[in-house]
Structure 1
């Protein structure tokens, strides 16, 4: 059975998922990469669109509305007593040398570029990245430098966006493997309680397919740009229920 048929059957058939416990580990790993790629498509599209559409507005704002500042020795300095916030189209630009704005506030914002006291923060298309100034030794930045950097970024988006997408994909795949590995441990406990004979390699395989339905659900929600309250809890709960249904399809040990 090819990977696409497995994907479809994993959405509704615990009985078929139970049969996948005997397949090669390589095919299961390939499926996890495929599922991760599929789940990231909406986020990557929105991230790319937001970055492209916002770049022109950001360049204009930096040139005409942003006050003078300088970043050196890992810290930003500007003649401001409160954060400067510029709303431009669908983007927000924040200059904060006071340390008033924190990342928790920014995480709840929409498309945002923030130059904070000790780090830069970017959120676009639902993806968040932060860059401490101290990462680069002898880092210095002024308004003119920022204008030049934005112009260079604008001309290099065709290269930058795929690179960022690859990094996001690698991180997401790593997190997906961790999620599956933990779910497989739960599967080991369930199979003992239900008198089923499986080893960890078997529970890992069926766990990889048990996360399909919640992954597709959140992919659809991302494509609709709809925030799901308590999403992590729902994700684990649905995956757990499917894993339980799959293990119930596996024959029990015969009692002597």
Structure 2
């Protein structure tokens, strides 16, 4: 059966999922790789767009809108009386040597870079990461930062490819761990229902049981819509589909 047809049937048919327990392990692993690839596309796209827009905005800001500054001895020093906030295509750039802006003020930003008094903050998809200026062992000025951004711009394509590969490999690893845990729950389900199944059968069935929640959350990610208690919904839906698939397995006939 075509792998995309299997994916479609796995969205609604526990009976078909129960039959997939006879598939070869190689085919099932290939299915997991494909399903994971589809699931990371929105994440990779939006992160890539944020990086490109952010880099373009940062280059423009450093050239035209930042005051002269120096990063030295772990601090950002500049002649300014108020923070500079620049919004560019859903990406925010904040420059504040006065100490008026802090990490809490960044909680409302989805994608941003903030040069604050003691640290630089990166915000991607609402996740905040900070790096203290003390990690720099040499002074940094406007021209130094501009040269760095120009160099970064020339290798952006390579960086994005490496980033996408890293995200995909990490996601594949997490998906395999997730499926393996579901298969352990499957051992409990098969005892409850009295079905003659081994762990290898349950692992294959679990791999297809994650299709519905994975596709659902992929669509939500593409629409940039957050789902309340998404983690719990994902686990509940996957285990429910697996349980229904196990119930579809016929019981061994008694002699």
Q: TM-score category by the smaller chain?
A: 0.7 to 0.9
Q: Which residue of 2 aligns with 1:70?
A: 71
In the TM superposition, what is the alpha-carbon distance from 1:193 to its structure 2 partner?
1.1
User: Scaled by the length of structure 2, what TM-score is found?
Assistant: 0.83
SS of the counterpart of 1:240?
helix
In the TM superposition, what is the alpha-carbon distance from 1:245 to its structure 2 partner?
0.7
Q: Structure 1 residue 22 and structure 2 residue 32: aligned?
A: no
Paired with 2:81 and 2:195, the residues of 1 have a C-alpha distance of: 63
Q: Which residue of 1 aligns with 2:3?
A: 3
Paired with 2:103 and 2:178, the residues of 1 have a C-alpha distance of: 32
Post-superposition Cα deviations, 1:8-55, rounded to whole Å, max 9, x if no partner, equal: 111111111111112221211111110011011122222222322332
Post-superposition Cα deviations, 1:196-243, rounded to whole Å, max 9, x if no partner, equal: 122222111111111101111111112222121211111111111111
Q: Answer yes or no: is the 8 Å Cα contact 2:91–2:112 preserved in 1.
A: yes
Q: Structure 1 residue 159 and structure 2 residue 161: aligned?
A: no
SS of the counterpart of 1:92?
strand
SS of the counterpart of 2:103?
coil
Q: Structure 1 residue 180 and structure 2 residue 179: aligned?
A: yes
Of residues 56-65 and 226-235 in structure 1, the stretch that sits farther from structure 2 once superposed is 56-65
Q: 5+ unaligned residues in a row in structure 2: which ranges?
A: none
Paired with 2:12 and 2:110, the residues of 1 have a C-alpha distance of: 35
Q: Which residue of 1 aligns with 2:58?
A: 58
SS of the counterpart of 1:121?
strand
2:103 to 101, 104, 117: 101
- Would you say how many aligned residue pairs link Structure 1 and Structure 2? 250
SS of the counterpart of 1:225?
coil
Post-superposition Cα deviations, 1:50-104, rounded to whole Å, max 9, x if no partner, equal: 32233222212233444524266xx4544699994623222122457769416xx
Paired with 1:54 and 1:182, the residues of 2 have a C-alpha distance of: 38
Paired with 1:39 and 1:83, the residues of 2 have a C-alpha distance of: 42
Counterparts in 2 of 1:1-256, with a 5 A limit? 1-66=1-66, 68-70=69-71, 75-78=74-77, 84=83, 86-89=85-88, 90-95=90-95, 100-101=102-103, 106=106, 109-115=109-115, 117=118, 120-123=121-124, 126=125, 130=129, 132=131, 138=137, 141-254=140-253
Of residues 154-163 and 5-14 in structure 1, the stretch that sits farther from structure 2 once superposed is 154-163
SS of the counterpart of 1:38?
helix
Paired with 1:237 and 1:214, the residues of 2 have a C-alpha distance of: 9
Paired with 1:43 and 1:30, the residues of 2 have a C-alpha distance of: 21
Q: 5+ unaligned residues in a row in structure 1: which ranges?
A: none
In the TM superposition, what is the alpha-carbon distance from 1:107 to its structure 2 partner?
6.4
SS of the counterpart of 2:59?
helix
In the TM superposition, what is the alpha-carbon distance from 1:6 to its structure 2 partner?
1.2
Q: Answer yes or no: is the 8 Å Cα contact 2:110–2:123 preserved in 1.
A: no
